[in-house]
Structures are given as C-alpha cells and as structure tokens.
Amino acid sequence: MTLECELTSESWALKEPFEISRSVVTAIHVLVVRLGDGEGHQGYGEATGVPYDDETPQSMAAQIEPLRPRLHAGLTHEELMHWLPPGGARNALDCALWDLRAKQSGRPVWQKIGLARVAPVLTAYTIGLGSEADARRKIRAARHLPLLKLKADAERHVDRVRYAREEHPSARLVIDANQAWNRELLERLLPELQAQRVELIEQPVPRGSDAQLDGLASPIPLAADESCADRSSLPALAGRYQFINIKLDKSGGLTEALALAREAQARGFGLMVGNMGGTSLAMAPAHLIAQDCSYVDLDGPLLMQSDRPDAMRYEGAQLAAPDAALWG
C-alpha cells in the first residue's frame, strides 16, 4: 500500500523583521508534509530548509515529488536516508514518518527512541541585529528570560553584548556571528567577550574555512552551526570547536539528528540544538534532541505572530514537551 503524501507550502509572519549577518527575514516559509496510511492515521513534519543552501518550500517539494510512488506502508527511516540527502526535504518526510508511526502504535516518539521521560527545557531567546535602540528595546522586553542569544556581524558585536549587560545584567549570553568573523577579529574580541561573561560563541568563521581556528586556545567555547550538518561533518570540527549546533533541517530529520548527537558526544563535543525558524510543529521533534543538550535554542514560535493549534507551551523560557495532538 502506498502512503498518502500531501505537500503544503505555508508562510508565517514574524512579529517584526529579523536580521542576521547575511539577511533580513519578515516571514518564515515552510513546507509541511502529511503522510497518511489510509486507515485514519496521519503524521506531520515541517521544514524551513537550509536558507544558505538556497532551499525553499518549492525546492524541497520538488525533491519529494518523485518519491511519492515509493512511499509504502512499511517505509523505514533508513530508506529515506538512502533516497534523500541531508536537508529540509528529508527532515519534513522523516519527522512526518516518526509522527505517523507514533499515531499507528499509540506509543509516543520519546518512548520509541528510548528516553525514560521527556522534560521541559530552558530555551534561549534570540535578539536579531538592528539599531542600538531596537537592541535595547528587545533586551529590556526579555528581562524575564535568563538566556539570550545575540546575533552579531563584523561591525556589530561587542557593543551588543554591552547593551545586554546594561539592560539585563543577570542574563546568560551566547553570541552568534553566523560566519561573519575571521580569526583575527575573533582573537581581538575574545578578551572583552570573556570579560562580559559570554558563555558560547556560535560559528565565528565561514564554513569551509574552519582550519583558521587551528591552534586557537579560546577561553570561550566555540560552537559549529553552519559547519555542522550531519555525522560526516564531525571529523573536520575536532580540535576547532567544542560544541555542535544540531538543527533538523541541516541533518535531514530526527533520525540523523539522534545519530549525530550520539556520535558527537562520543567524540567529546558538547551539544546545542537550534532551529531555522518555524512553528511548534518544527520545534516538537527538536525538543527530543534538546533533552541531552547543554544549550537549547528553540524560540522560533516566540518570534512569530501566530502558531499552530495545540502549539507548544512556553512558560517564560521553559518549553514544555509537545502534546500528541501536535506531533509525536
């Protein structure tokens, strides 16, 4: 029996424009996959894709379309990993399959992957780039949140950390350069970032140029984001980064994300889980990865004007486990 497969492109408006070093975003465009078994069970997955690899809902749908006849009742996650490369298309399909199997069996995904329980997690709240006035306003509005992630670029960096310290002195801080720095700038900024108690620096240099970090004894741990997609990324990160940021759109789904987390831990990396933006449907499977992460960045829905029915619950920075009516 062939599984029903429905592909839907959606756009979700942000509360206000969100700027990082390479772009400004006003809406999150996602692909939603629905898999049905013809017996009333349905599974859903959502993907934004990898924007710096030019993935869009249309390009992801185009990857999935030829697979429709091959989506059979006994479909396995291993088959999906063989048919599609890492990226948003495989993520949406893989997460929809996990959800479908949970609905068919009556067992939640967290049990299927061997977790003893699933607990709320503390998520970072991201402050995008913008003017000083905008940064201060957003930081003041986030004073009730204990962990802030500050976007940076080659010109706006230490100043943003100072704004955060002035407006929210007790905040824990992570800074994310989104590939905008080089080693020279990083070394120049490190003393001030350390003095301002920054805990983690995400992707300071462009992916593919990670070798410039060789021999750097950074007093602040570095996390690979754009440079880490799946398990094949790990050998090139050893000795250069101390953490990896796992995103399901990059890894190509929950199946690879789980394997990536296990192998990264075995190699001595710390774990962070992040998102490419999206609704609670995208955050739900990532919440399972978050159970083993030192840093969690699953604030996508907090930046959006609306969310799905049965949305995940945020109590301040605490993100509760998803309801089965949403996913899993």
Q: Hey, which residues does 149 pair with through a beta bridge?
A: 126, 174
**87-to-205, 222, 247 alpha-carbon distances in Å:** 21, 23, 10
Are 71 and 126 contained in the same domain?
no
Q: Which of 106, 136, 164 is the last residue of a domain?
A: 106
Structural domain tally of the chain?
2
Residue 201 lies in domain: 121-319
Buried b (16+ CB within 10 A) or exposed e, 204-226: bbbbeebeebeeeebebbbbbbb
Residue 24: its pLDDT value, please?
Answer: 86
**pLDDT (average), residues 200-206:** 98
- In this structure, the number of other CB atoms found within 10 A of the CB of residue 52 comes to 13
Residue 109: its pLDDT value, please?
Answer: 98
**pLDDT tens digits, 55-104:** 999 999 999 999 999 999 999 999 999 999 999 999 999 999 999 999 99
CA–CA dist 3, 34 (Å, integer)? 10
Residue 270: its pLDDT value, please?
Answer: 98
Q: Which of 106, 133, 160 is the last residue of a domain?
A: 106
Give the predicted TM-score (pTM) of the model: 0.96
More reliable by pLDDT, 24 or 19: 24
**pLDDT tens digits, 130-162:** 999 999 999 999 999 999 999 999 999 999 999
Residue 23: its pLDDT value, please?
Answer: 79
Are 100 and 134 contained in the same domain?
no
Residue 22: its pLDDT value, please?
Answer: 77
